[in-house]
Structure 1
Amino acid sequence: MNPKNRVPILIDVIIPAFNEENAVGKVIQEIPALVRHVVVVNNNSNDNTRKVAAKAGAVVLDEPIRGYGKACLKGMAFLSREKVAPDVVVFLDADYSDYPAEMERLIAPIIEDGFDLVIGSRALGNREKGSMTLPQVFGNWLATRLMRQMFSAHFSDLGPFRAIRWEKLQALQMVDENYGWTIEMQVKAVKAGLTYTEVPVNYRQRIGKSKVSGTLKGVIGAGYKILWTLWKYR
């Protein structure tokens, strides 16, 4: 991002985290200094995720009911109570698969070009070998193809690394509490007429085992929820 084009805005980050004690500290440490709050939502972890995140300087919230969307909603509820609301909210995972340092590239279209929503696309960026399983790659391809056919939405990925204007996010009235969170946001954004774009982001193998793509139950659950969400908002 060109410093000459930068305007003073408030940026907050929400990171859902379930048993990520070995990764979440690294994620927090690499988030650019332009961020106001790094909010880690400890999603009923049974390891030291909370302790590590707090030590790294994050605001740590506890959400005892597991669910990716549930954790994101908890982070949003916290930000809604702030005296000064953020201008932009960034979501990313706690497993160190995303590159937090690429955040400036992610938010640039919002700051410089006026977009409402920016998706960090792993499909357009460089993926480390083994960073995405075959079901993940196929699931993203199928979901984005169906979004195009059903909603004329032009996305290449359902990537978790994304940025959105806070007031636009609130207006979407997000409700999904688990696997459908990302696609719900994208479908609702298109239906609400939000301006959106994608930027290429790099992606590496996560630290530890995935709670979704690493299990058969997770793969089936995510696939079902994505298809159900598309049908629900058709």
Structure 2
Amino acid sequence: MDIDVVLPCLDEEAALPWVLGRMPDGFRPLVVDNGSTDRSAEIAAALGARVVHEPLRGFGAACHAGLLAATAPIVCFMDADASLDPRQLPRVAGPVLAGEADLVLGRRMPRPRSAWPAHARMGNAVLAARLRRRAGVPLRDLGPMRACRRTEALALDLADRRSGYPLEMVLRAAAARWRVRETEVDYLPRAGRSKVTGTLRGTVLAVRDMRRVMAEAAG
């Protein structure tokens, strides 16, 4: 069974050759260009990826555009910045394929530890703890590598188009009584500078988006 892999992309021309070159057999890359000013879209297409253009800026906007464009029964999401190894996608998609889980997240294990800045790890840990208490899901990381079934994900009717999208997915999945689990994946030094975790400001904005999503879900 083929699996579509949604890769939100903003100026990732340096990382895409490595990422697309390590895509496992049966995993079809779907690069969502979110307004890149470099040659990301051109490089992705030349390397055999399907390219979708999403003009609305935002991580959630890019992810959702990919979900809408996907056609495979199972969809994976992962960053396009080389911080995650596509060869580990089968360990995330496997439980969904086997019918053992409905949503699987890759719990990031930094290799080396400096690959994940302390401010980003701390923000993620706080949100994950709140998520465990509120939604009852056994997660220690809101990891960007994840897998689920496409039609079920569309039925969640996700609304956030910014950094709160990954959290909203988990919250709505938990409310729908999905079986949510995580499995360890390597987290590597990314190519270039992160738009979110590479700066304190980016992390603060992402945490703010996620807190807003959490508050909306509670209300």
Q: TM-score, normalised by structure 2?
A: 0.95
Q: Is the 8 A contact 2:92 2:106 kept in 1?
A: yes
Identify the match of residue 164 of structure 2 among 160, 180, 183. Answer: 180
Q: Does residue 111 of structure 2 align to residue 120 of structure 1?
A: no
Aligned length: 218
| Post-superposition offset of 1:74 | 1.3
Structure 1: how far apart are the matches of 2:179 and 2:162? 25
Structure 2: how far apart are the matches of 1:131 and 1:13? 23
| Post-superposition offset of 1:113 | 4.3
Q: Is the 8 A contact 1:120 1:159 kept in 2?
A: yes
Q: Helix, strand or coil: the match of 1:121?
A: strand
Structure 2: how far apart are the matches of 1:166 and 1:61? 17
Identify the match of residue 69 of structure 1 among 46, 54, 60. Answer: 60
Q: Helix, strand or coil: the match of 1:54?
A: helix
2:30 matched residue in structure 1 = 39
Q: Percent identity?
A: 33
Q: Does residue 175 of structure 2 align to residue 199 of structure 1?
A: no
The equivalences for 1:1-234 within 5 A come to: 9-35=1-27, 37-79=28-70, 85-122=71-108, 125-234=109-218
Q: TM-score, normalised by structure 1?
A: 0.89
Partner AA of 1:96 in structure 2 = A
User: CA-atom RMSD, angstroms?
Assistant: 1.3
| Post-superposition offset of 1:75 | 1.2
What are the ranges of 5 or more consecutive residues in structure 1 without an aligned counterpart?
A: 1-8, 80-84
Runs of 4+ off more than 6 Å: none
Q: Is the 8 A contact 1:17 1:42 kept in 2?
A: yes
| Post-superposition offset of 1:60 | 0.8
Structure 1: how far apart are the matches of 2:200 and 2:140? 24
- Name the structure where strand makes up a greater proportion of residues: 2
Structure 1: how far apart are the matches of 2:20 and 2:142? 22
Deviation string, structure 1 residues 140-181 (Cα, Å, up to 9, x no partner): 110111012222222110110100111211111111111101
Q: Which moved more, 1:208-217 or 1:19-28?
A: 208-217
Partner AA of 1:92 in structure 2 = M
Structure 2: how far apart are the matches of 1:221 and 1:160? 17
Structure 1: how far apart are the matches of 2:44 and 2:122? 33
Partner AA of 1:41 in structure 2 = V
Structure 2: how far apart are the matches of 1:67 and 1:126? 25
| Post-superposition offset of 1:126 | 4.8
Deviation string, structure 1 residues 94-146 (Cα, Å, up to 9, x no partner): 10000100111111111224311100001xx3532311111211111101110
